[in-house]
Structure 1
């Protein structure tokens, strides 16, 4: 990182370490924002789309079943940004306890840790406000037993880190976050900004907070995933969304180069409008995308109910369909563990009936440890 890379509009200061490399210390939030027509338009569209997502999500007849698949999609994509190969189907197979899968996708555990960290954060934030303490607790879960577990999970870094391609050093990395002491001051200021009253629109604040967290880079590993987790947690704790349904990581993965470029351009040139417009565009696109998927799921759900409307077990079959919206690939044991559908034998009977109606298919071809898939539901969630 070179001092000459930074313009006079950079929202922070550059200091030189005793070893000769430069580090960047971002100014406390909020910055001066230029409310251009472009930025206002992006904000208006994002607010409208996310309000629609909240409306549609809450109108779904069984809204709680939507959380599980969309949280897992976010976990998969956020982890893929950091280099994992596990897909949405891979993760569902893993959770269905198809043990042979462990050898095929060892990074599935890493993705599942993201799910656990987000689930923990959503529950914990009911009692503990968004804080550095909560972020550290989530970080400990994220890195437990996976790649990065040697990078002090749950602990703020005590050494200098940097951002760059593999093989980069402190001397040639394109970005070097604040030194340890200054980093702690930056985190304290960020926590204060999160909690203080503000006239800024909530989505603007979340965009600012995400940039600031990534600029501070307080952990040795996992900063990107934690930063994206914070977006989800703030959307729910600030009551923008009742449920964590927005998959912002899909947009980021699709525009990964621009994502990194926009973040870096804030540090180098103070290009807040460009970053916030990019972020708001992502919120807008993904909110619209999820609305379409939820509507498609409801249409399919109604179609299935009509197919078995004359079955004497139609109410239970409807419950099984709801379960497969939340868990499109499942074993009988997994369903028994996570529902109140009855005994193993009873659940098997319901599954077999839904195979008959074309709702499910058995995908192992075996007689034991069978795995069932709701292919049409899965297609809606994946496409």
Structure 2
């Protein structure tokens, strides 16, 4: 496998620069817009749940928002696909914490995130035999590096490239090359795709192109999955790096615009909900309670007890009043009483 940087590539072709300009503009708009709004934690929480769902769907791990939120309530609800999505979301947050603390993406970070996603400590592949096959024809379509030493050498090279800041290549172009290289190395037995997609957003945060993990390409890749794999293969077999880079840049542009739209819709829903809440239940309204209902989309009595610093009886009264007012829905999950903000769930399900 070829080592980074790919110095023989012309990364400033007219087509690449045009796509880069649009992607950079859209991403900068997203960053500025996200930084200008209150309650960022609510938006980030909602967006990371959508990403975890979409990224897992690429690996044929399909579930619903309803199941994901039930697992998040820790009510004992069992759904393996939803649990995998929740674990992926935890890995996103862990990666973000590490980047903010260390400002460095290492092989060890990627190993830790993959371990969270897959619930194992297998780490980097040690045994040969890994091959990628077509699920329908069973034909071998790619054989990644086999020996552990080669894999680790390639990861060290990738780590150096990720953290090098004094080159002249635009970070968005670098992200496209980093994504290609990581998936080509295929360093783990399982979880490479999802780990690689977390790496994308961590790289954007590392380079201050985003302040929080709110841009994900999984929905874009899902909608253009055949093209993704086709261009990945063309890059590997025919050195067609230009179309691959443009595909990723267009994904950044489109996803930035979609994320801005989603944030605006969540804001609009919160404002509408707030007005109705204050009109119907002015005596119990508080900003803390409103925030809690949008952060913990499926909430429980003890959440409100903690977030709003009230007694359990008062928290139960609040939630039951909101159900009676048509602002929440009640559901029994096992022995747990769950209160659902179905308006936000329906909104998120459209993206």
Q: Same fold (TM over 0.5)?
A: yes
Q: In 2, Cα distance between the equivalents of 1:74 and 1:208?
A: 21
- CA offset digits 1:71-94 (Å, max 9, x no partner): 111111111111212222211111
Label 1:127 to 1:305 Cα distance change in 2 as closer, same or farther (>3 A).
Answer: closer
Give the match for residue 312 of structure 1.
283
Contact 2:65 / 2:345 at 8 angstroms: preserved in 1? Answer: no
Give the match for residue 42 of structure 1.
19
The offset of 1:308, in angstroms, is: 3.5
Give the match for residue 4 of structure 2.
28
The offset of 1:331, in angstroms, is: 2.4
Q: In 2, Cα distance between the equivalents of 1:303 and 1:371?
A: 23
Label 1:336 to 1:198 Cα distance change in 2 as closer, same or farther (>3 A).
Answer: farther
Give the match for residue 107 of structure 1.
81
Q: Unmatched 5+ residue regions in structure 2? A: none
Give the TM-score normalised by structure 1. Answer: 0.83
Label 1:219 to 1:108 Cα distance change in 2 as closer, same or farther (>3 A).
Answer: same
The offset of 1:312, in angstroms, is: 3.0
The offset of 1:126, in angstroms, is: 2.9
Matches within 5 A, 1:137-176: 137-144=112-119, 149=120, 152-166=121-135, 172-176=139-143
Structure 2 residue 107 is matched with structure 1 residue 132: yes
The offset of 1:355, in angstroms, is: 2.6
Mean Cα deviation higher: 195-204 or 29-38: 29-38
Give the match for residue 194 of structure 1.
162
Q: In 1, Cα distance between the equivalents of 2:313 and 2:191?
A: 43
Count the aligned residue pairs. Answer: 344
**Counting helix residues as a fraction of each chain, which structure ranks higher?**
2
Contact 1:307 / 1:357 at 8 angstroms: preserved in 2? Answer: no
Q: In 1, Cα distance between the equivalents of 2:16 and 2:288?
A: 44
Matches within 5 A, 1:259-298: 259-298=228-267
Label 1:349 to 1:216 Cα distance change in 2 as closer, same or farther (>3 A).
Answer: same
Label 1:57 to 1:216 Cα distance change in 2 as closer, same or farther (>3 A).
Answer: same
Label 1:255 to 1:369 Cα distance change in 2 as closer, same or farther (>3 A).
Answer: same
Give the match for residue 42 of structure 2.
65
Give the match for residue 299 of structure 2.
330
Label 1:270 to 1:166 Cα distance change in 2 as closer, same or farther (>3 A).
Answer: same
Query: Secondary structure at 2:299's aligned position in 1?
Result: strand
Q: 2:28 aligns with which of 51, 74, 80?
A: 51
Q: In 2, Cα distance between the equivalents of 1:136 and 1:235?
A: 19
Query: Secondary structure at 2:38's aligned position in 1?
Result: coil
Alignment RMSD: 2.2
Q: Unmatched 5+ residue regions in structure 1? A: 1-24
The offset of 1:334, in angstroms, is: 4.2
Label 1:341 to 1:269 Cα distance change in 2 as closer, same or farther (>3 A).
Answer: farther
Query: Secondary structure at 2:142's aligned position in 1?
Result: coil
Q: 2:319 aligns with which of 342, 347, 351?
A: 351
Q: In 1, Cα distance between the equivalents of 2:144 and 2:333?
A: 53
Contact 1:67 / 1:326 at 8 angstroms: preserved in 2? Answer: no
Label 1:191 to 1:53 Cα distance change in 2 as closer, same or farther (>3 A).
Answer: same
Q: In 1, Cα distance between the equivalents of 2:126 and 2:197?
A: 19
Label 1:94 to 1:59 Cα distance change in 2 as closer, same or farther (>3 A).
Answer: same
Label 1:56 to 1:323 Cα distance change in 2 as closer, same or farther (>3 A).
Answer: farther
- CA offset digits 1:265-314 (Å, max 9, x no partner): 11111111111111111111111111111111112222222224361332
